[in-house]
Amino acid sequence: MPRLSRLFVRTALAHLVVGFTLGALMLINKGVPLHPLLWRLLPLHVEFLLIGWTVQFIFGVAFWILPRFGTSRGPEGVVWLSYVLLNAGVLLVAAGHLIAGPAWPVLIGRAVEGGAVVAFAFNMWPRIKPFRDVVTGR
């Protein structure tokens, strides 16, 4: 597994732990009311699990497993960029929801996440090809 994939998957696992912890806190809060403000954690729970965990895990495994050009996995700079943008976006969206202030941190965070997808797709696109092309080196 390449270094970038290990980084994606390990970071995704960290998001999973945080997301589950927030979910558990809200679940406990439903049975044993601790504090009404704990409900503010719901959008963070969703963000960490849907983007931080699920999307990030998929990116990590896709970068590792999709067809290569010989030994090369295509331009890696855009994938590093995607890693940085994805995590910055998740943190920005989470912070925006947590402070519950103006909408712009969430909006910018979403745009940054979109940038992560575009950067990732830039690497992935030429690697999506039939098996026969991989065998013949086309």
The least distance separating ligand HEM from the CB of residue 31, rounded to whole angstroms, comes to 10
- Within residues 11-30, the interface with ligand HEM by CB under 6 A covers 20, 23-24, 26-27
H/E run at residue 85: helix 77-99
**Closest to ligand HEM by CB, 42 or 100:** 42
56-65 and 77-99 helices, crossing angle to 10° = 170
The least distance separating ligand HEM from the CB of residue 90, rounded to whole angstroms, comes to 13
The answer to whether 74 and 126 have CB atoms below 8 angstroms apart is yes
What's the CA gap between 64 and 57, in Å, rounded? 11
Q: x/- string (CB under 6 A) for ligand HEM, residues 50-89?
A: x--x------------------------------------
Q: What is the residue type of 101?
A: G
Structure-token match 């999307």, residue found: 55
Q: Using the 8-state DSSP alphabet, how is residue 71 labeled?
A: T
**Closest to ligand HEM by CB, 27 or 58:** 27
Per CB under 6 A, residues contacting ligand HEM are 20, 23-24, 26-27, 42, 45-46, 49-50, 53
